[in-house]
Protein backbone atom coordinates (compact mmCIF):
# COMPACT_ATOMS: atom_id res chain seq x y z
CA UNK A 1 0.00 0.00 0.00
CA UNK A 2 3.03 2.26 0.09
CA UNK A 3 2.41 3.63 3.61
CA UNK A 4 5.15 3.63 6.19
CA UNK A 5 4.51 1.66 9.33
CA UNK A 6 3.37 3.94 12.11
CA UNK A 7 0.95 4.35 14.99
CA UNK A 8 -2.44 5.76 14.03
CA UNK A 9 -3.84 8.75 15.88
CA UNK A 10 -7.19 8.27 17.64
CA UNK A 11 -8.98 10.10 14.82
CA UNK A 12 -7.27 7.99 12.13
CA UNK A 13 -8.06 4.76 13.96
CA UNK A 14 -11.71 5.79 14.17
CA UNK A 15 -11.77 6.53 10.43
CA UNK A 16 -10.18 3.17 9.61
CA UNK A 17 -12.82 1.46 11.74
CA UNK A 18 -15.68 3.48 10.23
CA UNK A 19 -14.66 2.59 6.69
CA UNK A 20 -14.27 -1.13 7.47
CA UNK A 21 -17.60 -1.29 9.30
CA UNK A 22 -19.50 0.45 6.47
CA UNK A 23 -21.88 -1.56 4.32
CA UNK A 24 -20.35 -3.78 1.60
CA UNK A 25 -16.77 -2.78 2.43
CA UNK A 26 -14.81 -6.02 2.65
CA UNK A 27 -11.02 -6.34 2.93
CA UNK A 28 -10.33 -6.16 -0.82
CA UNK A 29 -12.55 -3.12 -1.32
CA UNK A 30 -11.09 -1.40 1.75
CA UNK A 31 -7.54 -1.65 0.44
CA UNK A 32 -8.54 -0.56 -3.06
CA UNK A 33 -10.40 2.45 -1.68
CA UNK A 34 -7.35 3.34 0.40
CA UNK A 35 -5.13 3.03 -2.68
CA UNK A 36 -7.50 5.26 -4.65
CA UNK A 37 -8.24 7.99 -2.14
CA UNK A 38 -5.22 7.93 0.17
CA UNK A 39 -7.04 8.04 3.51
CA UNK A 40 -10.14 6.37 4.98
CA UNK A 41 -11.57 9.83 5.69
CA UNK A 42 -11.55 10.72 1.99
CA UNK A 43 -12.88 7.28 1.05
CA UNK A 44 -15.80 7.73 3.46
CA UNK A 45 -16.71 10.97 1.69
CA UNK A 46 -16.75 9.22 -1.67
CA UNK A 47 -18.65 6.04 -0.70
CA UNK A 48 -22.24 7.20 -1.38
CA UNK A 49 -21.45 8.41 -4.89
CA UNK A 50 -19.47 5.27 -5.77
CA UNK A 51 -22.32 3.03 -4.60
CA UNK A 52 -24.89 5.04 -6.61
CA UNK A 53 -22.80 4.66 -9.76
CA UNK A 54 -22.69 0.92 -9.12
CA UNK A 55 -26.50 0.72 -9.10
CA UNK A 56 -27.29 1.11 -5.39
CA UNK A 57 -30.87 2.45 -5.24
CA UNK A 58 -30.92 3.32 -1.54
CA UNK A 59 -28.51 5.16 0.77
CA UNK A 60 -25.42 3.15 1.66
CA UNK A 61 -25.10 2.49 5.41
CA UNK A 62 -21.94 4.22 6.55
CA UNK A 63 -20.60 3.57 10.05
CA UNK A 64 -21.04 6.75 12.08
CA UNK A 65 -18.57 8.34 14.47
CA UNK A 66 -20.62 7.45 17.55
CA UNK A 67 -20.89 3.82 16.46
CA UNK A 68 -17.13 3.61 15.97
CA UNK A 69 -16.47 5.28 19.32
CA UNK A 70 -18.75 2.78 21.07
CA UNK A 71 -16.77 -0.09 19.59
CA UNK A 72 -13.45 1.47 20.57
CA UNK A 73 -14.76 2.09 24.11
CA UNK A 74 -15.90 -1.53 24.34
CA UNK A 75 -12.43 -2.70 23.31
CA UNK A 76 -10.78 -0.49 25.93
CA UNK A 77 -13.04 -1.97 28.61
CA UNK A 78 -11.98 -5.45 27.51
CA UNK A 79 -8.31 -4.53 27.59
CA UNK A 80 -8.23 -5.23 23.85
CA UNK A 81 -6.61 -3.26 21.02
CA UNK A 82 -7.52 -2.48 17.42
CA UNK A 83 -4.43 -2.77 15.19
CA UNK A 84 -4.36 -1.46 11.61
CA UNK A 85 -2.37 -3.03 8.80
CA UNK A 86 -0.05 0.00 8.53
CA UNK A 87 1.05 -0.31 12.16
CA UNK A 88 4.28 -2.02 13.14
CA UNK A 89 2.69 -4.62 15.44
CA UNK A 90 0.19 -5.79 12.81
CA UNK A 91 1.12 -9.39 11.83
CA UNK A 92 3.84 -9.23 9.18
CA UNK A 93 2.59 -12.50 7.72
CA UNK A 94 -0.76 -10.88 6.86
CA UNK A 95 0.55 -7.58 5.43
CA UNK A 96 1.28 -8.76 1.87
CA UNK A 97 -2.00 -10.69 1.62
CA UNK A 98 -4.51 -7.84 2.01
CA UNK A 99 -6.38 -10.28 4.27
CA UNK A 100 -7.71 -7.75 6.77
CA UNK A 101 -7.10 -4.02 7.28
CA UNK A 102 -7.90 -4.23 11.01
CA UNK A 103 -7.75 -6.89 13.71
CA UNK A 104 -8.80 -6.81 17.35
CA UNK A 105 -6.30 -8.33 19.77
CA UNK A 106 -6.50 -9.52 23.36
CA UNK A 107 -3.47 -10.92 25.16
CA UNK A 108 0.14 -11.15 24.01
CA UNK A 109 0.23 -9.24 20.71
CA UNK A 110 3.95 -10.05 20.32
CA UNK A 111 2.96 -13.62 19.39
CA UNK A 112 1.47 -12.28 16.16
CA UNK A 113 4.94 -11.64 14.76
CA UNK A 114 6.49 -14.97 15.70
CA UNK A 115 6.83 -17.84 13.20
CA UNK A 116 3.63 -19.86 13.41
CA UNK A 117 2.09 -23.15 12.34
CA UNK A 118 -1.68 -23.64 12.19
CA UNK A 119 -3.24 -26.87 13.45
CA UNK A 120 -6.89 -27.48 12.53
CA UNK A 121 -9.26 -30.42 12.21
CA UNK A 122 -12.50 -32.08 13.13
CA UNK A 123 -14.74 -30.83 15.93
CA UNK A 124 -15.88 -34.40 16.61
CA UNK A 125 -12.27 -35.57 16.76
CA UNK A 126 -11.29 -39.01 17.97
CA UNK A 127 -9.24 -39.47 21.12
CA UNK A 128 -6.22 -40.38 18.95
CA UNK A 129 -6.74 -37.28 16.81
CA UNK A 130 -6.81 -35.01 19.86
CA UNK A 131 -3.72 -36.72 21.23
CA UNK A 132 -1.93 -36.21 17.91
CA UNK A 133 -2.88 -32.52 17.72
CA UNK A 134 -1.74 -31.85 21.28
CA UNK A 135 1.53 -33.72 20.76
CA UNK A 136 2.28 -31.82 17.55
CA UNK A 137 1.52 -28.51 19.30
CA UNK A 138 3.84 -29.34 22.21
CA UNK A 139 6.70 -30.34 19.90
CA UNK A 140 6.26 -27.43 17.47
CA UNK A 141 6.07 -25.00 20.39
CA UNK A 142 9.24 -26.50 21.82
CA UNK A 143 10.97 -25.74 18.53
CA UNK A 144 10.04 -22.06 18.52
CA UNK A 145 6.75 -22.03 16.62
CA UNK A 146 3.56 -20.38 17.82
CA UNK A 147 0.49 -22.56 17.18
CA UNK A 148 -2.55 -20.95 15.53
CA UNK A 149 -6.05 -22.44 15.60
CA UNK A 150 -9.72 -21.47 15.83
CA UNK A 151 -10.72 -22.42 19.42
CA UNK A 152 -13.34 -24.88 18.18
CA UNK A 153 -13.95 -28.08 20.11
CA UNK A 154 -11.93 -31.15 19.14
CA UNK A 155 -8.62 -30.69 17.30
CA UNK A 156 -8.47 -26.90 17.81
CA UNK A 157 -8.92 -27.22 21.57
CA UNK A 158 -6.23 -29.92 21.81
CA UNK A 159 -3.77 -27.82 19.78
CA UNK A 160 -4.27 -24.72 21.93
CA UNK A 161 -3.98 -26.79 25.09
CA UNK A 162 -0.66 -28.26 23.99
CA UNK A 163 0.80 -24.92 22.93
CA UNK A 164 -0.28 -22.68 25.82
CA UNK A 165 3.08 -22.95 27.66
CA UNK A 166 5.03 -21.90 24.53
CA UNK A 167 2.60 -19.60 22.69
CA UNK A 168 -0.70 -19.97 20.87
CA UNK A 169 -3.11 -17.71 18.97
CA UNK A 170 -6.87 -18.28 18.73
CA UNK A 171 -8.70 -16.68 15.80
CA UNK A 172 -12.41 -16.22 16.55
CA UNK A 173 -15.30 -16.06 14.11
CA UNK A 174 -17.30 -13.79 16.43
CA UNK A 175 -16.22 -10.81 18.49
CA UNK A 176 -13.03 -11.02 20.49
CA UNK A 177 -15.19 -11.25 23.62
CA UNK A 178 -17.44 -14.03 22.31
CA UNK A 179 -16.64 -17.48 23.72
CA UNK A 180 -17.66 -20.15 21.22
CA UNK A 181 -18.24 -22.88 22.12
CA UNK A 182 -19.16 -22.00 25.70
CA UNK A 183 -17.50 -25.18 26.97
CA UNK A 184 -14.17 -23.51 26.12
CA UNK A 185 -14.67 -20.64 28.56
CA UNK A 186 -11.74 -21.80 30.68
CA UNK A 187 -9.51 -22.19 27.62
CA UNK A 188 -10.53 -18.72 26.43
CA UNK A 189 -9.56 -17.13 29.74
CA UNK A 190 -6.17 -18.85 29.62
CA UNK A 191 -5.66 -17.74 26.02
CA UNK A 192 -6.33 -14.12 26.95
CA UNK A 193 -3.90 -14.34 29.86
CA UNK A 194 -1.13 -16.53 28.44
CA UNK A 195 -1.65 -16.51 24.67
CA UNK A 196 -3.44 -14.28 22.21
CA UNK A 197 -7.01 -14.00 20.89
CA UNK A 198 -7.83 -12.09 17.70
CA UNK A 199 -10.89 -11.31 15.58
CA UNK A 200 -11.99 -9.12 12.67
CA UNK A 201 -15.47 -8.69 14.12
CA UNK A 202 -16.86 -6.07 16.47
CA UNK A 203 -17.11 -6.93 20.20
CA UNK A 204 -20.36 -8.64 21.01
CA UNK A 205 -20.68 -10.22 17.55
CA UNK A 206 -22.13 -13.73 17.67
CA UNK A 207 -20.45 -15.97 15.07
CA UNK A 208 -22.49 -16.76 11.97
CA UNK A 209 -21.79 -19.21 9.15
CA UNK A 210 -20.49 -16.44 6.87
CA UNK A 211 -17.89 -15.41 9.46
CA UNK A 212 -16.02 -18.72 9.51
CA UNK A 213 -14.38 -18.44 6.06
CA UNK A 214 -13.02 -15.04 7.10
CA UNK A 215 -11.71 -16.56 10.34
CA UNK A 216 -10.15 -19.46 8.41
CA UNK A 217 -8.43 -17.06 6.01
CA UNK A 218 -6.74 -15.40 9.01
CA UNK A 219 -5.73 -18.73 10.52
CA UNK A 220 -3.93 -19.83 7.36
CA UNK A 221 -2.54 -16.36 6.66
CA UNK A 222 -0.88 -16.05 10.06
CA UNK A 223 0.96 -19.36 9.66
CA UNK A 224 3.91 -20.53 7.57
CA UNK A 225 2.13 -23.85 7.17
CA UNK A 226 -1.10 -25.57 8.16
CA UNK A 227 -1.46 -29.08 9.59
CA UNK A 228 -4.84 -30.80 9.18
CA UNK A 229 -5.58 -33.54 11.74
CA UNK A 230 -8.82 -35.38 10.89
CA UNK A 231 -11.28 -33.74 8.51
CA UNK A 232 -14.40 -34.96 6.74
CA UNK A 233 -14.48 -34.55 2.93
CA UNK A 234 -16.44 -31.26 3.00
CA UNK A 235 -15.22 -29.83 6.29
CA UNK A 236 -14.18 -26.27 7.05
CA UNK A 237 -10.65 -27.52 7.69
CA UNK A 238 -10.30 -28.43 4.01
CA UNK A 239 -11.50 -24.93 3.09
CA UNK A 240 -8.76 -23.55 5.33
CA UNK A 241 -6.25 -25.79 3.56
CA UNK A 242 -7.34 -24.43 0.16
CA UNK A 243 -6.99 -20.88 1.49
CA UNK A 244 -3.50 -21.75 2.70
CA UNK A 245 -2.55 -22.87 -0.81
CA UNK A 246 -3.97 -19.65 -2.27
CA UNK A 247 -1.79 -17.73 0.20
CA UNK A 248 1.33 -19.69 -0.70
CA UNK A 249 1.50 -21.65 2.57
CA UNK A 250 2.62 -25.26 2.98
CA UNK A 251 -0.15 -27.78 3.67
CA UNK A 252 0.45 -30.83 5.86
CA UNK A 253 -1.96 -33.67 6.69
CA UNK A 254 -2.01 -36.51 9.20
CA UNK A 255 -3.07 -39.80 7.56
CA UNK A 256 -5.76 -41.97 9.08
CA UNK A 257 -7.85 -45.06 8.68
CA UNK A 258 -9.77 -45.28 5.38
CA UNK A 259 -12.69 -46.63 7.39
CA UNK A 260 -13.00 -43.42 9.46
CA UNK A 261 -14.95 -40.61 7.68
CA UNK A 262 -12.98 -38.09 9.75
CA UNK A 263 -9.83 -39.16 7.92
CA UNK A 264 -11.17 -39.09 4.37
CA UNK A 265 -10.42 -35.38 4.02
CA UNK A 266 -6.85 -35.63 5.29
CA UNK A 267 -6.11 -38.72 3.22
CA UNK A 268 -7.51 -36.86 0.22
CA UNK A 269 -5.19 -33.92 0.88
CA UNK A 270 -2.21 -36.30 0.87
CA UNK A 271 -3.34 -37.73 -2.49
CA UNK A 272 -3.45 -34.18 -3.81
CA UNK A 273 0.10 -33.42 -2.71
CA UNK A 274 -0.10 -32.36 0.94
CA UNK A 275 2.93 -33.30 3.04
CA UNK A 276 2.29 -36.41 5.13
CA UNK A 277 2.81 -35.86 8.86
CA UNK A 278 3.54 -38.58 11.39
CA UNK A 279 5.54 -36.47 13.84
CA UNK A 280 6.43 -32.80 14.30
CA UNK A 281 9.76 -33.58 12.60
CA UNK A 282 7.90 -33.86 9.29
CA UNK A 283 6.75 -30.26 9.69
CA UNK A 284 10.07 -28.98 11.02
CA UNK A 285 11.97 -30.54 8.10
CA UNK A 286 10.02 -28.25 5.76
CA UNK A 287 9.66 -25.09 7.85
CA UNK A 288 12.94 -25.00 9.77
CA UNK A 289 15.02 -22.98 10.00
CA UNK A 290 12.60 -20.05 10.12
CA UNK A 291 12.64 -18.14 6.86
CA UNK A 292 10.73 -15.95 4.49
CA UNK A 293 7.13 -16.56 3.56
CA UNK A 294 6.10 -17.71 0.12
CA UNK A 295 3.21 -15.57 -1.05
CA UNK A 296 0.47 -16.18 -3.56
CA UNK A 297 1.47 -15.18 -7.06
CA UNK A 298 -2.04 -13.93 -7.89
CA UNK A 299 -1.57 -10.31 -8.98
CA UNK A 300 -3.50 -7.68 -7.10
CA UNK A 301 -5.62 -5.10 -8.84
CA UNK A 302 -3.79 -1.84 -9.42
CA UNK A 303 -5.89 1.29 -9.21
CA UNK A 304 -3.23 3.84 -10.05
CA UNK A 305 -3.43 7.47 -9.02
CA UNK A 306 -5.23 9.14 -11.95
CA UNK A 307 -9.00 9.37 -11.51
CA UNK A 308 -10.73 8.06 -14.67
CA UNK A 309 -13.08 10.56 -16.32
CA UNK A 310 -16.81 9.90 -15.91
CA UNK A 311 -17.22 9.48 -19.67
CA UNK A 312 -14.55 6.78 -19.64
CA UNK A 313 -16.17 5.13 -16.63
CA UNK A 314 -19.61 5.14 -18.26
CA UNK A 315 -18.25 3.33 -21.31
CA UNK A 316 -16.32 0.92 -19.08
CA UNK A 317 -19.47 -0.07 -17.17
CA UNK A 318 -21.16 -0.99 -20.45
CA UNK A 319 -18.24 -3.30 -21.26
CA UNK A 320 -17.33 -4.76 -17.84
CA UNK A 321 -20.77 -5.56 -16.39
CA UNK A 322 -21.92 -7.75 -19.34
CA UNK A 323 -18.59 -9.63 -19.13
CA UNK A 324 -19.39 -10.70 -15.55
CA UNK A 325 -21.62 -13.61 -14.58
CA UNK A 326 -22.65 -15.66 -11.56
CA UNK A 327 -19.67 -17.98 -12.23
CA UNK A 328 -16.41 -16.76 -10.65
CA UNK A 329 -13.74 -15.42 -13.03
CA UNK A 330 -10.38 -13.80 -12.31
CA UNK A 331 -10.01 -10.04 -12.44
CA UNK A 332 -7.12 -10.48 -14.88
CA UNK A 333 -9.42 -12.34 -17.29
CA UNK A 334 -11.94 -9.48 -17.18
CA UNK A 335 -9.16 -6.97 -17.86
CA UNK A 336 -7.94 -9.03 -20.84
CA UNK A 337 -11.40 -9.58 -22.28
CA UNK A 338 -12.51 -5.97 -21.89
CA UNK A 339 -9.17 -4.48 -23.02
CA UNK A 340 -9.43 -1.74 -20.42
CA UNK A 341 -6.85 -0.45 -17.96
CA UNK A 342 -6.66 -2.18 -14.54
CA UNK A 343 -7.50 1.16 -12.88
CA UNK A 344 -10.77 1.54 -14.81
CA UNK A 345 -11.84 -2.10 -14.35
CA UNK A 346 -11.03 -1.97 -10.63
CA UNK A 347 -13.12 1.16 -10.17
CA UNK A 348 -16.12 -0.48 -11.85
CA UNK A 349 -15.71 -3.51 -9.58
CA UNK A 350 -15.57 -1.28 -6.48
CA UNK A 351 -18.79 0.43 -7.58
CA UNK A 352 -20.52 -2.93 -8.03
CA UNK A 353 -19.28 -4.29 -4.70
CA UNK A 354 -20.39 -1.23 -2.75
CA UNK A 355 -23.77 -1.52 -4.45
CA UNK A 356 -24.03 -5.12 -3.19
CA UNK A 357 -23.89 -6.59 -6.71
CA UNK A 358 -20.46 -8.26 -6.67
CA UNK A 359 -18.86 -11.04 -4.63
CA UNK A 360 -15.12 -11.60 -4.24
CA UNK A 361 -13.69 -15.11 -3.96
CA UNK A 362 -10.26 -16.52 -3.25
CA UNK A 363 -7.47 -16.37 -5.83
CA UNK A 364 -8.49 -12.92 -7.15
CA UNK A 365 -11.83 -14.17 -8.60
CA UNK A 366 -15.13 -12.29 -8.72
CA UNK A 367 -18.74 -13.01 -9.62
CA UNK A 368 -22.06 -11.19 -9.80
CA UNK A 369 -24.51 -11.76 -6.96
CA UNK A 370 -27.98 -13.04 -7.95
CB burial of 260-274 (b: ≥16 within 10 Å; e: otherwise) equals: bbbbbbbbebbeeeb
> Is 107:137 a contact under the CB 8 Å cutoff?
no
Q: DSSP letter string over 22-80?
A: STT--HHHHHHHHHHHSSHHHHHHHHHHHHHHTT--S------HHHHHHHHHHHHHHT-
Which residue ranges form the domains of the chain, and what is each CATH number? 10-105 (no CATH), 113-195+206-287 (3.40.50.450), 310-368 (1.10.10.10)
> Using CA atoms, how far apart are residues 75 and 179, in angstroms rounded to an integer?
15
331, pLDDT greater than 50: yes
How confident is the model at residue 306, as a pLDDT?
52
Instruction: Tell me the pLDDT band of 295, cut-offs 50, 70 and 90.
Output: very low
> Using CA atoms, how far apart are residues 203 and 295, in angstroms rounded to an integer?
31
Instruction: Tell me the pLDDT band of 3, cut-offs 50, 70 and 90.
Output: very low
> Is 348:320 a contact under the CB 8 Å cutoff?
yes
143-155 tens-digit pLDDT: 999 999 999 999 9
Q: How many CB atoms lie within 10 A of CB 104?
A: 24
7-32 tens-digit pLDDT: 899 999 999 999 999 999 999 999 99
47-101 tens-digit pLDDT: 999 999 999 888 899 999 999 999 999 999 999 999 999 999 999 999 988 899 9
CA–CA distance from 324 to each of 276, 308, 311, 369 (Å)? 39, 21, 21, 10
Amino acid sequence: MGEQQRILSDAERRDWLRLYRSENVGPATFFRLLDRFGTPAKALEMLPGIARRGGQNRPLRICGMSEAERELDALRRLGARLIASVESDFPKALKPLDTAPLITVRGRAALLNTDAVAIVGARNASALGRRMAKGLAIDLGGNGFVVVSGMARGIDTAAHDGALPTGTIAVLAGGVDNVYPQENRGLYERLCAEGCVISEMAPGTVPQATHFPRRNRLISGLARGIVVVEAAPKSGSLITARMALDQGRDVFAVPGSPFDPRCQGTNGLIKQGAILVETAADVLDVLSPPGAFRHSSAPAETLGTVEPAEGEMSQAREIVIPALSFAPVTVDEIIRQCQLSPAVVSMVLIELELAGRLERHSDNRISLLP
